[in-house]
Amino acid sequence: MTAATFWSTEGLPRTGAFDAWNSKMSELHLTWSLTFPKDEQFNAAIRYRRLDGLTVADFDGGRFAGRRAVTGQSVDRDQLVGVSMNLSGRVVCRYAGEEVLLAPDQLLVWDGELAQGFDAVDPHRELTLLLPRDRVPDGLATLASRTAGAVSAAAGTGLLAIAADQLRAIARELENLSDAALSIACQSFFDTLDSALAPLDARPPSTTRSAMLVRIRRYIGDHLDDPALCAGSIAAAHDISVRTLHLVFADTGTTVGRWIRDRRLKECYRELSRAGGYRTVTDVAYRWGFSDAAHFSRSFKQAFGVTPSSVLAGDAGLTRNS
């Protein structure tokens, strides 16, 4: 499993802290020429993880600015699409000849070839996910190729808020996800965000969505114990794109991934409550598509308020509606 890394300027001499951050940012991001206010003590901390071209990073630090540096490096470093979500402070992004303000709870999709500069006018915290352009959903890649501006992902923005919650959860669980789980979580985030930002005319008509939702939910129920069940397999089975699948779920208040997880957790509860001493928690979790026992236990307790082992032992009753 690739490791999550924590890096900070804490303990570095004042004269060397910013130079160290300059090198770290060029390693993890694009290549920038950075500056910071000389009358301030610069500080920065970042948790990050890299996997097969994917970079997930959680940055927290002081004021600084960047301009694209001219280097002899390969242009492959520019072939990235990034998603930046600001959690606090303000950042002015210079992108494709325009300035875009990224305020708290706002999200920006950008293309590495068009990013020109930025100015973190306040100390800020930011979550960033970078992926090679050829692995990003077509809709997001197209959006990143033009200046669409930042969008709000605060509570009340529907599918955008759900996508933002997914990104926060990825950052929170960065140390606990296997490589496969990290890849799945990030792809799910990109798919949800792609659907959230799709133009309204890309959505199937309401009556079509309703009928399709019934069929898809029935299909999920029939294949719930299939470990390969995912957005891609469901979309392929119904001859639709993954984006259309997410758009079908857009008005339900949840995502297809969460719907599958919730159905599986309830099946696990029922089976554990009837298993007696004939099954183990791990047996039941694996039977219903959970490949990480520790993650399953956390999700189960969050959903029902009790541990799966206590249900297996007959010490707990179902505390939430099933």
pLDDT digits (tens, 9 = 90+) for 289-306: 888 888 889 889 988 999
What sign results for the dihedral spanned by CA atoms 47, 30, 148, 194? negative
CA dist 135 and 82 (Å) reads: 12
CA dist 167 and 188 (Å) reads: 10
Query: Whole-angstrom distance between the N-terminal and C-terminal Cα of the chain?
Result: 35
Q: What local confidence, expressed as pLDDT, does residue 75 receive?
A: 47
Judge whether residue 37 has pLDDT over 70.
yes
Indicate the pTM of the whole model: 0.67
Q: Percent of the chain scored above 90 by pLDDT? A: 43
Q: What local confidence, expressed as pLDDT, does residue 202 receive?
A: 57
Q: What local confidence, expressed as pLDDT, does residue 98 receive?
A: 86
Q: What local confidence, expressed as pLDDT, does residue 318 receive?
A: 47
Q: What local confidence, expressed as pLDDT, does residue 147 receive?
A: 64
Q: What local confidence, expressed as pLDDT, does residue 267 receive?
A: 93
- Write down the residue that tokens 């956390």 correspond to: 298
Q: What local confidence, expressed as pLDDT, does residue 276 receive?
A: 67
Q: What local confidence, expressed as pLDDT, does residue 60 receive?
A: 96
The torsion of the CA quartet 159, 160, 165, 168, rounded to 10 degrees, works out to 150
Q: What local confidence, expressed as pLDDT, does residue 255 receive?
A: 81
Let me know the angle formed at the C-alpha of 55 by 53 and 57, rounded to the nearest 5 degrees: 175
pLDDT band at residue 320, thresholds of 50, 70 and 90?
Answer: very low
pLDDT digits (tens, 9 = 90+) for 241-290: 887 888 788 777 778 888 899 999 999 999 998 876 668 899 999 889 88
Q: What local confidence, expressed as pLDDT, does residue 322 receive?
A: 42
pLDDT digits (tens, 9 = 90+) for 39-78: 888 899 999 999 988 999 999 999 999 998 765 544 456 6
> Which of 73, 86, 82 is CA-nearest to residue 114?
82
pLDDT digits (tens, 9 = 90+) for 190-214: 888 988 887 655 566 767 778 889 9
pLDDT digits (tens, 9 = 90+) for 147-194: 668 999 999 998 899 999 999 999 999 999 999 889 889 988 988 898
- What average pLDDT does this structure show over 72-90? 79
Find all residues with CB under 8 Å of 117, minimum gap 6, and list them.
Answer: 65, 66, 67, 68, 93, 94
- Write down the residue that tokens 């799709």 correspond to: 198
pLDDT digits (tens, 9 = 90+) for 93-137: 998 778 899 999 999 999 988 889 999 999 999 999 999 888 888
Q: What local confidence, expressed as pLDDT, does residue 230 receive?
A: 85
Q: What local confidence, expressed as pLDDT, does residue 8 receive?
A: 95
CA dist 289 and 229 (Å) reads: 8
